[in-house]
Structure 1
């Protein structure tokens, strides 16, 4: 009988603390969701459309890009990269294939790394994008890339 009373008493305890946390998590966007939004709606869309305004909003002004494209070292500033995207025929206008996906996002405090796969033209890029939370916004501060042949 005592056991039944204890169990009944436990069921009557308020669960507000746990429910409150769940509710606030749903109303506030998580860092992962913010990074996913920037990646999909600014970075991927900017690359696909050749939209330099979107890319400028995604990158920190002093960001650097490094990589290896078919064995050739690659280095650009964000400004050089964005200018290059604006001067090429975009995948959208070329009618060429474009498929971009987020493989993973890891966040630790104000730093995050996203692993991406971007297939466009005849390239199969893997990007490692580093984000930093600066002045209330997640911005790309570094990009490394490599073209991988199947």
Structure 2
């Protein structure tokens, strides 16, 4: 008898009343998902295709680049770097191998560091990218790099 009363009581509630409509639910992407999107869809694609518009979407205008390439010190502003990418033959058009991967992502509040490996032309670059969330967008604010010979 108790079970019948409980079932009758549960059936008295409308099924559609306060239930969430799964189709209308929006999921908020995690910071890691947002950062991966910037790296994969703007940074990696921009480098591979030589698409400077994509690269500009990834970088904070005042971003700086430091490092070394084959022992030679490297320093550029974001504008200098993007201009250089636009003036070279892209890996896509060169037909040469291009492999880029995210090795790690560390996020604390509105900052993040990302370690990347980018193999293109005859280079094996390791990049350490610093992100900052600015005006609700994750942007690259600093890049350090070095070329490692196998």
Q: Report the TM-score, using the length of structure 2 for normalisation.
A: 0.82
- The 1-side partners of 2:54 and 2:95 are apart by 20
Determine which structure has more spread, i.e. the larger CA radius of gyration: 2
Residues 13-36 of structure 1: per-residue CA shift (max 9 Å, x gap)? xxxxxxxxxxxxx81100000000
3-state DSSP of counterpart to 2:149: coil
Cross-structure match for 1:12: none
List runs of 5+ in structure 2 lacking aligned partners.
Answer: 1-25
Query: Counterparts of 1:89-100 in structure 2 under 5 Å?
Result: 89-100=89-100
Q: Report the TM-score, using the length of structure 1 for normalisation.
A: 0.82
Higher normalized helix content (fraction of residues): 1
Confirm or deny that 1:132 pairs with 2:94. Answer: no
| Matched residue count | 125
Q: C-alpha displacement at 1:50, in angstroms?
A: 0.2
3-state DSSP of counterpart to 2:138: strand
Query: Counterparts of 1:1-150 in structure 2 under 5 Å?
Result: 27-150=27-150
Cross-structure match for 2:6: none
List runs of 5+ in structure 1 lacking aligned partners.
Answer: 1-25
Aligned CA RMSD, in angstroms, stands at 0.8
Residues 89-124 of structure 1: per-residue CA shift (max 9 Å, x gap)? 000000001000000000000000000000000000
- The 2-side partners of 1:34 and 1:50 are apart by 22
- The 1-side partners of 2:80 and 2:68 are apart by 17
